[in-house]
Amino acid sequence: MEESPQVTTSLPRHARLPINRCNLPAVILGGVTYQTHPVPLELDGVRAFHQHLFTLLAPMDSHRERAALFVDYMAAHFCLDDLEQAGLSPGRVRKSRRNANYLRMVRGWSFDSDGREGAVLKHWVETRFGLLARHHAGPLDGRDSDAYQQYLAAGSHGLYGTNALEAQLDLLYTYCQYELTRQHPEETHLTLYRGSNRMDEHEVLGRCDDGGSLVLLNNLNSFTSERERADEFGDYILTAEVPLAKISFYNGLLPGMLKGEDELVVIGGVYAVRMDTL
């Protein structure tokens, strides 16, 4: 993918935080130059802390076997089947809170990305990558707006009383990147599509020389690998070359993970895209 010489816009200041918890600042990983020339993104300390998991995964040739090991590791490490052992007092936390784990967040996103689980995931992207949410049940007009405060409240409520939920999401992303590297060893990007009827989710910043658009995406977005599937979700189709490093999770990562057969959930920022109408 070649960058137009006139496309120089980076991630706007109002769409980023000054600090994050990965190896690149938001202003870099959220810009068009990163889309064109990506490097791996690593969350601080996650791979090193869970190195034993990746040592166990290394000799496994079967994706299915690796997925099963990952699920078992998550259950054991985070005591997902024995929350009292994790420190949650029996009877003091509602069942819905006790079951709020990484799989519930992902499945909740699949059913309603503007729901509580979606708020948790978007907040996770904010803290880990420094990319501010731009849309949640409507446009988020600045961090002091009522809409943004309501979004923060939803995310905080979704995290309350959970068992290291953000650490679970950290490891899910890290495992996703490990799998993508194994399955696409010679690739840096995937061509993905997004259908939408709500163009206010996408802030158009300018035009590219090739006729495409420079768009500020929400900090977390659903895409599909099949153009025909994107047609089912709206009259506007965005086509983007998405760096593998910006794929946070996808349907085939774990069995039954998402309801969409070809759904991939992509970290946002500024992208050069092609925008078509049906």
The ranges assigned to domains in the chain are 46-183, 187-277
What pLDDT shows up at residue 231? 85
What pLDDT shows up at residue 49? 98
176-184's contacts with Cβ under 8 Å and 24+ in sequence apart are 176/247, 176/248, 176/249, 176/250, 176/253, 177/40, 177/41, 177/244, 177/245, 177/247, 178/54, 178/57, 179/63, 179/66, 179/253, 180/244, 180/247, 181/244, 182/63, 183/63, 184/244
Mean pLDDT by 10 residues, the chain (278 residues): 52 95 98 97 98 98 97 95 61 58 94 95 98 94 89 94 93 98 96 82 84 93 92 88 98 82 92 88
Rg of the chain in Å (alpha carbons): 19
**pLDDT per residue over 7-37, tens digit each?**
447 899 999 999 999 999 999 999 999 999 9
What pLDDT shows up at residue 201? 62
* CA pair distance 146, 138, nearest whole angstrom: 11
What pLDDT shows up at residue 24? 98
What pLDDT shows up at residue 141? 83
What pLDDT shows up at residue 100? 86
pTM of the predicted model as reported, rounded to 2 decimal places: 0.91
